[in-house]
Amino acid sequence: MFTGIVTAIGIIKSIETEGDLRVVISCPWDPAGIDIGASIACSGVCLTVVEKGGQEGDAWFAVDVSGETVSRTAQDQWRKDRRLNLEPALRLGDELGGHLVTGHVDAVGRVALAEDLGGSTRLEILANEGIAPYVAEKGSITVDGVSLTVNDVEDEPNGDVRFALNIIPHTGEVTTLGDLSEGDAVNLEIDVLARYLKRMQSLAN
């Protein structure tokens, strides 16, 4: 489990294609604190560390990315020099600063608007009808691994959903969200509580 609070930005240094993708990601962590077999959320995708190296402040780790994962995540994410939001898995006793996040991508959305509001940025994300019932005003959603609050929601005539987010300057600086522009694809994960509430509602009907 994760919280959607990004602790570092990593950069894809290399990709090897032998069946699954072997992706090597550089990060500013201490490799001594990265465990083989540990889970790390990479722009909202939970992946398992299979190798590591480097030195404190200039570490790297490798993960295997399956074809299934590639097909269900943002286009153009798995390429050399791509910046990724990183978060290690939640440990017992850690502060829950965002909301509970699983690291499983529910849908790929697209940035419909990226507007500067005098420091902050208003993002409007367009997503498919599959997640529309789970997106609510003032509810939580994870965008590229970042826990955010939905400002408002608009249902499109075709069933898709458009929702707005406010990215404060700090969030834009310490995550990749400040790099987003119109047309960019993003990984989306709905709130776990919304998922269970929807299931309970369907059983009650």
Tens digit of each residue's pLDDT (9 = 90 or more) over 84-136: 999 999 776 666 666 788 999 999 999 999 999 988 999 999 999 999 999 99
Q: For domain 107-204, give its CATH number from 3.40.50.1100, 3.90.10.10, 3.40.50.2300, 2.40.30.20.
A: 2.40.30.20
Residue range 8-88 in CATH 3.40.190.10? no
Q: Is the pTM of this model over 0.75?
A: yes
- In the chain, list all ranges with CATH 2.40.30.20: 8-88, 107-204
User: DSSP string covering 1-70, please?
Assistant: -B-S---EEEEEEEEEEESEEEEEEEESS-GGG--TT-EEEETTEEEEEEEEEEETTEEEEEEEE-HHHH
